[in-house]
Structure 1
Amino acid sequence: MRADRMTKRGPMLDFSSRRVLIVGDVMLDVYCEGSVARVSPEAPVPVVLMSAERHVPGGAANVAANVASLGACAHLVGVVGADADAELLRMMMAAQFPAVSLAEMVTAAGRPTTTKTRIIGNKAQVVRLDREQSAPLEPAVEQALLAHVEAALPHCDVVVLSDYAKGVCTDAVIRGVIALATQAKKPLLVDPKRRDFSIYAGATIIKPNLRELEAATQPTDAGDESVERAARAATALTGANIIVTRSERGMSYIGADGPALHIPTAARTVFDVSGAGDTVMAALAVALNPAEPSDGAAHALAIANAAAGIVVGKAGTATVSTAEIAAEMARPALAGGSAAKIATRTQARALAAAWRAQGLVVGFTNGCFDLLHPGHVQLLERSAEACDRLIVGLNTDASVSRLKGPSRPVQREAARARVMAALGMVALVVLFDEDTPAEIIKELLPQALMKGADYTVETVVGADTVMAHGGRVVLIDLVPDESTTALVRRATIKPNS
């Protein structure tokens, strides 16, 4: 990215000053890997010949590990048993993630450290063995845990509550953490497991996956509008902003106020989704800026979405780094061919916000673009040179007819959009039905607005909006004698007439 195209925000992938307090169900994940060549003579089950065994942090410990791998510091508050698994977890965290403080961990005698052991044969999971006690904590352990939370809060910027329904996040703990975070004026992010979200009332953000959101509110058809309705119901119940992780459909942010943001996922090969939610939560915690509720959310979602795309391509519970996220965010944002560049207004708004959050200059130009000609090509080429991501606003058929007359357009909107999306300099195509692009410019907030030099800055629609937000207007020279009207006229002239 050229330095002169950086916004004042910049890439913002330096999280070294962030301090995150993670409270919740701490786990140890064990992977026993090997090969399968035969079936046991004792029972109809595969025999796994083990070749490797590895241990990684799970649950709230995985959130902390991901926070550390992103360059931030973490305080981990959870409960472990007085057993060998707890010692192994402590040693592993200290060696691999020294930026995670374990001083606030609580040891509960008679309660095992929650451990998930996955048996992997020929790179496929054969069975999982869980060692846990999911009964609620004893009151004395709850009090000790909340005391550690209160002691750590002054040293942290944000709090994460990682609820895996393993007994640590009792009613008293949840309400206590929310009360302490509220009193300390620290934002609180919740990864929920309860069906009744009212227990999380007072949280800043609740991050369910789609299944969890539906269980807590209402069924959806997985579409944007349906998911938004369910999330609004959760917001009404809790007062919290909602971030929904939607697998291959990406993520959605539904704030208590303002429009929803829907960010599509990048096309990636999914190897293992274990712990992906922990990675997303860690990325949100370090990247979210509560002082910037709109662009701040888009910025955090873009980073979390990139992190999720990376971690699902890794085997087992894993972490990601800022270098990996930066590389992922530098990839083309849309995959699946040129047709994937044609976006709804909601999608375009989310992508524009995400691009701005990445430090990219978003540009916008618009027109009917009925029959593409050299004048159009020059406008688009010069427009693309003035920005990092060029969005083209395309008048719908109804809009063109109102502007140009009933005989236009020559090509229908679907065809015009498809041709425009096939051009390499165009990052995104979005249709608008109004006579002018004023409203869509207000929605997208581009930093660069391009029009032909037959306009002046004062007569360019949307110039006031763009410049009021620190952007600029670029006027581009026209190619003489090139227009769709002239092409249509020449096409209708009979030979030798």
Structure 2
Amino acid sequence: MKIKKSLLHKTFAKLSQIKVLVIGDLILDEYLIGSVERISPEAPVPVVWVRNEKQTLGGSGNVVQNLSSIGVNGIVYGRIGNDKAGESLERILLSNSVAKEDLVLLKSKTLPTILKTRIIASHQQVCRVDREEIVPLTEAEEATILETLKQKIKESSAVILSDYDKGYLTPSLIQSVISLCNAEEKIVTVDPQVSHFFLYQNIHIMTPNHHEAGKALGKKLASDSEIESACREISERITPDAMMITRGEKGMSIYERKTNTFYHIPTVAKEVFDVTGAGDTVITTYTAFVASGMSIKEAALVSNVSAGIVVGKLGAATVTQPEIEDALRTLGYLDEEV
């Protein structure tokens, strides 16, 4: 399969004209980067001499970051704490193609902003420190969210549910969001959590990896036939337009339910440095390109190529339009005829 260059450029032009609504668990990723030259005299652990610090968007925030990187404006719903980490997260979101009026944050007075601190020495992660309290939204908080959500869905071209199982996407909120989207004929794409797996009824597509899909079904998934059987079984239970199962070094498999058609797309990653955030890149690029007019198969190919790019970078990386076009051309997926 090849994508016509004219279609790719037409889609690129549309990306800046759409808005994608991202609903999910916001996380602030912090990196302390340095070197190790000695072992601590206090305990048999390395002493990391920190030379650089940075903060980036994690969780559903990485989806927003990916949208911004390919030129798409985002609308964001999530929860933060009343703390410095929350202030940082809000500031970074506003610098990633999110207008202030499109940043709808529930600020908790009792819960901290989820903060994951990674200590890295010589490109190796020494340890990770997590600060979080996982508490579901209350009924009152859900009601407050739903007051404005209906209008924001109308303003969106598509909706992504980015579920990290940190309490924001409760079962009732998931069902309410999907119902509102279906009423407005907006596509819903889902990066799922196993605990909520079969709650995502009547969506456009779900994009679990093969471990998540297998865990949800209580079986291991390895061969093409096992993946195809899993896609059908899941689709019978949640009736999506399509199912996508990402398969690591085996690429991804896509099932279109209405036509009973499968596509197995091989991985294109040449060298894997870090798989962090690859799933976010897949659902982001797929959603944006479908919302901009590409078919399921075409958007899946773009998302697969995009994932191949980001796993070659360190950390929760993103991809750009020129990188996508260059990769499609290099891999032989771009039809240069206009």
TM-score when normalising by structure 1:
0.64
Counterpart residue type for residue 253 of structure 2: S
Change (3 A) 1:92 1:197: closer
State the 1:231 CA deviation: 1.4
Match of 2:317 in 1: 318
Match of 1:86 in 2: 86
Cα distance in 1, alignment partners of residues 318 and 87 from structure 2: 21
Question: Is this contact kept in 2: 1:158–1:187, CA < 8 A?
Answer: yes
Counterpart residue type for residue 128 of structure 1: R
What SS is found at the alignment partner of 1:75? strand
Cα distance in 2, alignment partners of residues 8 and 315 from structure 1: 32
Counterpart residue type for residue 183 of structure 1: A
Question: Is this contact kept in 1: 2:78–2:168, CA < 8 A?
Answer: yes
Match of 2:223 in 1: 223
Cα distance in 1, alignment partners of residues 4 and 72 from structure 2: 24
1:51-130 pair list within 5 angstroms: 51-98=51-98, 102-130=102-130
Cα distance in 2, alignment partners of residues 203 and 41 from structure 1: 56
Cα distance in 1, alignment partners of residues 179 and 163 from structure 2: 16
Match of 1:260 in 2: 262
Match of 2:243 in 1: 242
Change (3 A) 1:58 1:148: farther
Counterpart residue type for residue 266 of structure 2: P
Question: Is this contact kept in 2: 1:76–1:100, CA < 8 A?
Answer: no
Cα distance in 2, alignment partners of residues 304 and 44 from structure 1: 44
What SS is found at the alignment partner of 1:38? strand
Counterpart residue type for residue 325 of structure 1: I
Cα distance in 2, alignment partners of residues 194 and 211 from structure 1: 10
What SS is found at the alignment partner of 2:146? helix
Question: Is this contact kept in 2: 1:13–1:326, CA < 8 A?
Answer: no
State the 1:196 CA deviation: 5.1
What SS is found at the alignment partner of 1:9? helix
Change (3 A) 1:304 1:35: same
Cα distance in 1, alignment partners of residues 237 and 98 from structure 2: 39
Match of 1:46 in 2: 46
Q: Does residue 1:146 correspond to 2:146, yes or no? A: yes
Match of 1:382 in 2: none
State the 1:289 CA deviation: 4.8
Change (3 A) 1:203 1:150: same
Cα distance in 2, alignment partners of residues 167 and 329 from structure 1: 38
State the 1:194 CA deviation: 2.5
Question: Is this contact kept in 1: 2:68–2:96, CA < 8 A?
Answer: no
State the 1:83 CA deviation: 0.9
Counterpart residue type for residue 227 of structure 1: I
Counterpart residue type for residue 134 of structure 1: I
| Greater relative contact order (CA < 8 Å, ≥ 6 in sequence) | 2
| Structure 2: gaps of 5 or more residues | none
What SS is found at the alignment partner of 1:142? helix
State the 1:306 CA deviation: 1.3
State the 1:102 CA deviation: 4.5
Match of 1:201 in 2: 201
Cα distance in 2, alignment partners of residues 101 and 283 from structure 1: 24
Partner deviation per Cα, 1:118-159 (whole Å, 9 max, x = no partner) = 111121111111111112112222222222321211110100
The structure where strand makes up a greater share of residues is 2
What SS is found at the alignment partner of 1:288? helix
Match of 2:275 in 1: 273
What SS is found at the alignment partner of 1:44? coil
Question: Is this contact kept in 1: 2:18–2:292, CA < 8 A?
Answer: no
Cα distance in 2, alignment partners of residues 78 and 195 from structure 1: 19
TM-score when normalising by structure 2:
0.92
Q: How many residues align?
A: 332
Match of 2:329 in 1: 330
Cα distance in 1, alignment partners of residues 221 and 75 from structure 2: 39
Cα distance in 1, alignment partners of residues 232 and 270 from structure 2: 29
Counterpart residue type for residue 310 of structure 1: I
Identity of aligned residues (%): 35
Could you say which structure has the larger radius of gyration?
1
Question: Is this contact kept in 2: 1:187–1:290, CA < 8 A?
Answer: no
Change (3 A) 1:33 1:302: same
Counterpart residue type for residue 115 of structure 2: T
